[in-house]
Structure 1
Amino acid sequence: MTVDDRFRVREGGAVGPVPPTYTVTSTADGTLVEGPDGGRLLIARTSPGPLPAVPPVEDPSGRSGYASAPPQQVDMVVVDAAQRPETIGELRRAGIIGVTTAVVAVGGDHWVRSPEEFARRARLWGALVPSDGSVMSCPPSVWPEPRPQGPHRTLVTGGARSGKSTEAEVRLLAEPRVVYAATGPSPDPAQDPEWAGRVQQHVERRPWWWHTEETSDLAELLRRARGAVLVDCLGTWLAAAMDRHGMWADEVPAEAEEALEAELRALLEAWRGTRAYVVAVTNEVGSGVVPATRAGRLFRDHLGRLNQWVGSESEDVVLAAAGRVVELR
């Protein structure tokens, strides 16, 4: 890729010979190229871990500021978004990528199954995808499409091991502030080591700056949330709600249905009114055999109805199957 038609950025981020009027500096965030007109281009690093740039902090009043001098925003950043797309979120969090920064995603190759899939992901991250040998100016003549931002709701549905949780995580990798709403039971390695291992795998693949909240009160979380939220998942939330109202028992209390209905409607109202960019995972039900128990049939019916309600109040609904994603228009 040729930048400003003056020098080349090679695979791996190496910068070719530059004119004397340009400066190239190796920084903790990557390779910084500064032009004679003050333009700033960053070839982002690919190594994992927190960026050493000064992160924003919040005082008790809720106002944002910086502990010392704020980081310097660049005009364009080139990111290997196939190998480490979360770098975009890190740089946004640090203030290096701002609203006027053009993000260029490179490095498709074997890390992503096809150029079309890489381009789809880049659109979700607010990034351009140039072809090999592209000539680009800094800032570019063509800008990325705006990425989804709150209020925006996406429902990701699919069967077991369909890739739905991975798709939800991919959609939020470039966000600077993410709350991961874990609705499942807390793992107890002594009682259920297999479940604890599954949960740990989910934790380890999340970006370091994502904040996890274990909660069953999704309605309250959605009402107060800003930034981005990943809900994983509506099925485990419903299972816990049914348990709270004794609906897994052989004898269901008379008031249980009404109480559960109130929780479902409160969640839907919060989903409809949230100010955050929310991606929620859910289980696709009804494609398999009829559950053998009354409680299982109740769960299937309520989750199927909840999925329909939430889907009708979402800007995007996608179906994951065999690791592939289909948009449900």
Structure 2
Amino acid sequence: MRIRFPGTAGSVGWPAPQCTCASCNLAQADRRLPLRVTVDDSFRVRESGAAGPVPPGYTVSPTPDGLLVESPGGGRLLHARSGPAPEDSAGSGAGQVDMVVVDAARRPEAIGELRRSGVIGVTTAVVAVGGDHSVRSPAEFARRARLWGAFAPADGHVMSCPPAVWPDARPRAPHRVLVTGGARSGKSTEAELRLLAEPEVVYAAAGEPADPEKDPEWAERVARHTERRPRWWRTEETTDLAGLLGRERGAVLIDCLGTWLTRVMDEHGVWGEFPPPGAEERVESEVRALLEAWRTTRAYAVAVTNEVGSGVVPATRAGRLFRDHLGRLNQWMAAGSEEVVLVAAGRVLDLS
């Protein structure tokens, strides 16, 4: 099949009519029409079905994952659903397809769902469409697509199904990414975004477990954080990050190293003016174990951390101690990472 994309944007195009937002201004030089997908220049397909008569030999079938198009020559195209996937979508019977068209602005996590169910395999071309001014710029949309192992075509692009050329592969395990930044910089959002297309993700929550009775505000924050993650991600509340990195083979997201270090230092009683004998050594031992696990992990691991060296010198001993320990930990983790990125005001700067 020849799949043509006369338009690749969201429902109103990009830039949107009469819109003067920054995203639409940046899209002026790379204008995109609303999404339109045609098969062999014979008929058009949408998420809801085929537009116009379907030539003999083709089959167009709705599935829980979206609209499946099969050609007489054997090519299989899935126009993935853009709405929430049904709970039982995994194992829907569609099987692996040759190409998937995904609205990656509205539901990028659909890529992970389809990989999880086997619809997207190693040889499946993933096409990311639907860009609009909910994304900062066309360049940012293309960056995200690359992270997910997807291709973001321009209007007019033609692809073959089965594909002749596949998009660049996404990062595969073992691979380590350190995401650093200040408070509320967007670093956790960036870390989560990187793993949306992964079929198996363990979210390592290294902070104190939320207790609604002791701290309802913190519990509410944790709940909101949990709700925005894909439903198949598994959460583990643990300080044993070394053990987790040692046994996992899929994707692991650690959020965050600052809260992990706080708990480790608290457990060994180093905060006081007169810490117990050997306290510092025990903290350093746990740090070394984490660094070795990070270096040798077989997982695709993304760790979030805090930048602590950009402000004034802390006024207290505890503050200075924490800054020194975390600053060193960040340097050592960065040295063992394939990628390091700094997030500031939601913008991502590659430090690799």
* Pairwise TM-score range, normalised by the shorter structure: over 0.9
Q: Among residues 171, 176, 179, which one is paired with 2:199 in the alignment? A: 176
Matched-pair contact (CA < 8 Å) for 2:98–2:163: no
Q: Conserved in 2, the CA contact under 8 Å of 1:71 and 1:94?
A: no
- The corresponding residue for 1:314 is 337
Identify the residue that residue 75 of structure 2 maps to in structure 1.
Answer: 39
| Moved beyond 4 Å, runs of 4+ | none
Aligned to 1:264: 287
Query: What is the rounded CA distance, in whole Å, between the counterparts of 2:255 and 2:60 in structure 1?
Result: 43
Superposed CA offset, 1:3-49 (max 9, x none): 44433345x66533332221111111100101001211000011214
Q: Which residue type is aligned with residue 26 of structure 1?
A: P
Q: State the Cα deviation string for residues 234-271 of structure 1 (Å, max 9, x = none).
A: 00000000001101223212311111111110000000
Letter in 2 for 1:180: Y
Partner of 1:326: 349
Q: Which residue of 2 aligns with 1:76?
A: 99
Deviations 1:198-246 (A, max 9, x none): 1111100000000000000000000001110000000000000000110
Q: Within 5 Å, which residues of 2 pair with 1:90-239?
A: 90-239=113-262
Is structure 2 residue 50 aligned with structure 1 residue 15? yes
Q: Is the 8 A contact 1:53 1:71 kept in 2?
A: no
Does the 8 A contact of 1:3 with 1:136 survive in 2?
A: no
SS at match of 1:15: strand
**2:134 aligned partner, one-letter code:** W
CA distance in 2, matches of 1:293, 1:308: 23
Identity fraction in percent: 72
Query: 2:253, 2:310 → 1: CA distance?
Result: 25
In structure 2, how many angstroms separate the alpha carbons of the residues matched to 1:84 and 1:167?
15
- Deviations 1:51-80, CA, capped at 9 Å, x for gaps: 53445xxxxxxxxxxxxx965111111000
User: Secondary structure of the residue that 2:50 maps to in structure 1?
Assistant: coil
Aligned-partner SS, 1:97: coil
CA RMSD of aligned residues (A): 1.5
Deviation string, structure 1 residues 131-187 (Cα, Å, up to 9, x no partner): 123222212333210000100000000000000000000000000000000001011
State the alpha-carbon separation in 2 of the partners of residues 94 and 13 from structure 1: 21
Aligned length in residues? 315
CA contact (8 A) 2:90 2:113 kept: no
Find the partner of 1:248 among 258, 271, 275: 271
CA separation of 1:223/1:140 partners in 2, compared to 1, >3 Å: closer, same or farther?
Answer: same
SS at match of 1:24: strand
Residue among 325, 336, 341 paired with 1:302: 325
For residues 162 and 43 of structure 2, the distance between their equivalents in structure 1, rounded to whole angstroms, comes to: 15
- Aligned with 1:32: secondary structure? strand
Q: Distance in 2 between matches of 1:158 and 1:19?
A: 54
CA distance in 2, matches of 1:49, 1:183: 30
